[in-house]
Structure 1
Amino acid sequence: MRSNVDFSPFYRSSVGFDRIFNLLENSAQPQGVDKWPPYDIVKLGEDKYRIVIAVPGFTQDDLTITHEPNMLVVKGDKSGDEDFQYLHHGLALRPFLHRFELADHVSVTDARFDNGLLIVELKKEIPEEMKPRRIAISSMGNAAVGESAKRVKDDRAA
């Protein structure tokens, strides 16, 4: 179901959120989009994820994984053997393309092919300079109070 929400007022009053609004506008896929082959997205922990795609009949050479900025593209293209004639062709070995939007700082840590499943491991790694850090608060008032107290003691001694 396509949403007809107009995000233009938000574009006028915000800076740097273009990607979020584009994701919201494109989130509803048209009804005719092919969801084949089936896949799972699993959250394994606070910062670890796994995508599992069922690709029976494909080999490692038939699959391509590309990690673009904020996008993971998985493509499958089975090279056809035209040496024989099918009496019944029920296996879906057609080419496919899946695009997965990735959050900032998510990277692919591993990809493996096991028993007809393509397993892609992902991890979110926030750079050290972007992690929250505690800021020490210095007190200018305490230094002034300590200084004036010292002056008061010096004045009394004289």
Structure 2
Amino acid sequence: MARITPFTSPLLLGFDAMEKTLERIAKGNDGYPPYNIERIRRDDPVGTPERLRITLAVAGFSEDDLDVTIEESQLFIRGRQAETGERDYLHRGIAARQFQRVFVLAEGMQVMKAELKNGLLSVDLIRPEPQRMVKKINILVPE
């Protein structure tokens, strides 16, 4: 029996890569670290692009432990803490845990900045207003 997805519609052409990306992201979501996504209000409603902020709770991670990259319209946020063998724990409830969060970015989305403050990593994004494009396609008639 064939699997039916929203992308199997004959009207959606060329979305195969997006479907695979969404499947991969859905499988890799373990809930750590927790995050928020918020819309930042525009100060000037005319000409100012929409801003979004992703905030991750990354207590215990330093700037050197975190990596923020964009790969093929996907925002990857990775964290890896190095194990230090010099500590002698009586109890260890805070694990040095690595993580990876992936966010799929719409076409045109741009990362403005990433900032680490008080155990929160904030990544600001902008979405410029898309330009409406109309293109006339000439119809060829064979002779």
**Taking structure 2 as the reference length, what is the TM-score of the superposition?**
0.73
C-alpha separation between the residues in 2 aligned to 1:6 and 1:82? 51
Instruction: Let me know the Cα RMSD of the aligned residues.
Output: 2.9
* Aligned residue number for residue 56 of structure 1: 59
The percentage of counterpart residues that share the same residue type is 33
- Which 4+ runs in 1 deviate beyond 4 A? 23-28
* Aligned residue number for residue 124 of structure 2: 121
* Higher RCO (CA-CA < 8 Å; seq separation 6+): 2
C-alpha separation between the residues in 1 aligned to 2:76 and 2:131? 28
C-alpha separation between the residues in 2 aligned to 1:9 and 1:82? 50
If you compute each CA radius of gyration, which structure gives the higher value, 1 or 2?
1
* Aligned residue number for residue 36 of structure 1: 32
Q: Judge which range, 4-13 or 37-46, deviates more.
A: 4-13
Aligned residues: 126
More helix by share: 1
C-alpha separation between the residues in 1 aligned to 2:75 and 2:115? 15
Per-residue deviation, residues 78-129 of structure 1 (Å, max 9, x unmatched): 1111112211111133111111111111110011110111000001125xxx
C-alpha separation between the residues in 2 aligned to 1:9 and 1:95? 33
Q: Which runs of 5 or more structure 2 residues have no equivalent in the other structure?
A: 42-48, 135-143
Over 3 Å counting, the alpha-carbon distance change for 1:22 and 1:92 in structure 2 is same
Cα deviation, residue 5, structure 1: 4.9
Q: Which runs of 5 or more structure 1 residues have no equivalent in the other structure?
A: 135-158
* 1:104 is aligned to 2:107: yes
Q: 2:90 aligns with which of 87, 90, 99?
A: 87
Q: Which amino acid aligns with 1:80?
A: E
C-alpha separation between the residues in 2 aligned to 1:132 and 1:55? 39
Q: Which amino acid aligns with 2:13?
A: V
C-alpha separation between the residues in 2 aligned to 1:39 and 1:7? 28
Cα deviation, residue 55, structure 1: 0.6
**Taking structure 1 as the reference length, what is the TM-score of the superposition?**
0.67
C-alpha separation between the residues in 2 aligned to 1:8 and 1:113? 38
